[in-house]
Amino acid sequence: MTSSFLVRAAALAAILCAGAILVSYQPTSAASAPRPLASFDPQVKPLVARMTLDEKIGQMTQPEQDGLEDPADLENLSIGSVLSGGSSDPKEGNSLKAWTDLYDRIQEHSRKARLKIPILYGIDAVHGHNNVLNAVIFPHDIGLGCTRNAALVERAARVTAEEVRATGIQWVFAPCVTVPQDIRWGRTYEGYSEDPQVVSELGEAAVRGFQGSDLANPLSVVACAKHFVGDGGTAHGSSKAGNDQGDTRVDEATLRRIHLQGYLTAVKAGVGTIMPSYSSWNGVKCSASKRLLTEILKQELGFQGFLISDYNAIDQIDPDYKKAIGISINAGMDMGMVPKRYREFIADLKALVKEGTVPMARIDDAVTRILRVKFAMGMMDPKRSPMADRGLWKSFGSAEHRVVAREAVRQSVVLLKNRNKVLPISKSAARIHVAGKSADDIGNQCGGWTIDWQGKSGNVTTGGTTLLAAMRNAVSKNTRVTYSADGTGGAGATLGVAVIGEKPYAEGMGDRADLALAPEDVAVVNNLKSAGIPVVVVLFSGRPLILGGVLDKVEGFVAAWLPGTEGAGLTDVLFGDYQPTGKLSYAWPRNMAQVALHRGDKGYDPLFPLGYGLGY
């Protein structure tokens, strides 16, 4: 009674001060531990007792919104959750309205089901609400890792939560608490650091930011720590792509020391959901491992939320789909992310229960865990509408939100070289010649997981500022900022700025055996140099790249990672309004032979060590 009153009072208070949330937002201290999810069991158990087997299995099933064979399946099969994966757009496009309408359209169906249990809608908001046009796009986690600033990461997650809630969606597949050990992996940028300590601090902060001090706050979303466990430790060559979804060949002590660390703190912070990895540990798929999912995560770590399988990950366990489902659910998987095969998943799981392969107790445990989260979020409160709160639209992509992202950008930038104090650039320099394919390209600046799953070069979103545009805004009115894509035309300029790097990619599509700078990028630098002017390189990349001779040729070098939409955070540093403070969250190798070496390994001698970063 009292506690549910308090929850409601807190929710009301949150609604009342939604407008002022950022100004008043205080990072939650580690001391204010969230309410344990299992404390909702007195409300959950009576509901579970009223549910049919079909209704229980429906709660455990998560189709893709664009994989639904018939929208009425949502009520007819009592579906508990829906997702939008990468590039799973509303058919009306990616506007804020289209996304909110899609959410409401889906949620409407839950009201037609017998028990009217609201649908939990999940999405990859991994650097802001990145599927939606005009959302604030934050630096990818590799950049946030270089800030080493937990309070800032928490604020960024809070802003993202608010933008996600503006579309009605209540669940983010973030933070990624991977600890990448091999930068050839295409998901390196999704990890804060190769250092487990940094990952565990920042991952915990992100969970607190997403979930707030109370999941029932209408501005909170439930977080998902992923991908459990060892996704960043796969041996090169152990998968088709190279590293992605491969096999992590380490002993248990190493798995715990490196890859488990982020889960210890995420669970402590009360993370509501965790996503088991596609990858394997010593040949066993994580999504099939009872040792990992049940014994370590649920029993030993005391995780009380629920496990969501990765996209079609169950299919990879065994060619016999029904057998694969049985193995995964019995290992401890609670909800299947089954984009298109959801009808089959439901029928097979039901048959597995009927024939006794999956015990009823396992089903009840899974449903209990899922409903704990729904109760904790206030979703089961009949007085609370499950529909989107369009009142939140006013802060979506707002100037206040962009300020937080700009702060994240400037703290993420790492200054690697500054010969003759070429930086900061004077705002009254006569002429700055900017060059390179990424100088005026918001798509390259944001990277993968931006509007599209893979991201894309070009004008992918609205509301952002490219680095070139930010430079033009920053300089004095007597300063000329000129631009050429290939770096020609620099003669007579005070300075050349080459903005180069990787084009967008996501997941295995970004696995690379060779991380050398692209020849076209090297040519840009050479062209600027041949004009006889000092040159600064700004590199947009999802990981350290092999610089070859380029570093020696130039006066200044800045690693800007994948900073997102707020290009002004970069100019804050380039023009000296902000002293660079970013520190490398991955060591920077000299050549490919050094790529998978770490502190303590023989021959470890990186170009720049972990933690490196200059100031002015």
- CA separation for the pair 236, 596 (Å, rounded): 9
- Please name which of 228, 147, 237, 226 lies closest in space to residue 193, comparing C-alpha atoms: 147
Between 280 and 527, name the residue whose CB sits nearer to ligand BGC: 280
Between 191 and 270, name the residue whose CB sits nearer to ligand BGC: 191
Token pair in block for residue 69: 């064979």
Q: How far is the CB of 453 from ligand BGC (least distance, A)?
A: 5
Between 173 and 578, name the residue whose CB sits nearer to ligand BGC: 173
Angle between the 196-211 and 150-165 helix axes, to the nearest 10 degrees? 40
Residue 224, class by beta-carbon neighbours within 10 Å (0-12 exposed, 13-18 middle, 19+ buried)?
buried
Q: Which amino acid is at 611?
A: G
- Please name which of 532, 551, 451 lies closest in space to residue 490, comparing C-alpha atoms: 532
Q: Is 515 helix (H, G, I), strand (E, B) or coil?
A: coil
Angle between the 360-376 and 41-50 helix axes, to the nearest 10 degrees? 130
- Please name which of 569, 508, 509, 513 lies closest in space to residue 538, comparing C-alpha atoms: 569
- Please name which of 91, 252, 223, 215 lies closest in space to residue 157, comparing C-alpha atoms: 223
- Please name which of 445, 567, 421, 592 lies closest in space to residue 513, comparing C-alpha atoms: 592
Between 205 and 286, name the residue whose CB sits nearer to ligand BGC: 286
Between 48 and 176, name the residue whose CB sits nearer to ligand BGC: 176
Instruction: Using alpha carbons, list the distances in angstroms from residue 178 to 109, 153, 220, 245.
Output: 35, 16, 23, 13
Instruction: Using alpha carbons, list the distances in angstroms from residue 44 to 40, 270, 371, 382, 489.
Output: 6, 18, 6, 14, 69
Q: Is 197 helix (H, G, I), strand (E, B) or coil?
A: helix
- CA separation for the pair 284, 247 (Å, rounded): 8
Residue 147 CA, distance from chain mean position: 16
- CA separation for the pair 566, 615 (Å, rounded): 21
Q: How far is the CB of 41 from ligand BGC (least distance, A)?
A: 28
Sign of the dihedral defined by the CA atoms of residues 57, 63, 69, 74, in that order: positive
Indicate the pairing of strand 284-285 with strand 61-62: unpaired
Q: Which strand ranges, in their side-by-side order, compose the sheet holding 273-276?
A: 224-228, 273-276, 306-307
Q: How far is the CB of 346 from ligand BGC (least distance, A)?
A: 20
Give catalytic residues, as residue numbers: 310, 507
**CB-nearest residue to ligand BGC:** 85
Q: How far is the CB of 85 from ligand BGC (least distance, A)?
A: 3
Residue with tokens 């404390």: 39
Strand-pairing partners, residue 62, are 337
Residues that bind ligand BGC (CB under 6 A): 85-88, 124, 173, 226, 310-311, 453, 507
Sign of the dihedral defined by the CA atoms of residues 11, 16, 18, 22, in that order: negative
Is 177 within 8 Å of 144 (Cβ atoms)? no
- Please name which of 380, 413, 325 lies closest in space to residue 115, comparing C-alpha atoms: 380
- CA separation for the pair 262, 145 (Å, rounded): 13
- Please name which of 207, 157, 164 lies closest in space to residue 404, comparing C-alpha atoms: 157
Instruction: Using alpha carbons, list the distances in angstroms from residue 549 to 367, 522, 553.
Output: 57, 9, 7
- Please name which of 506, 512, 500, 410 lies closest in space to residue 451, comparing C-alpha atoms: 506
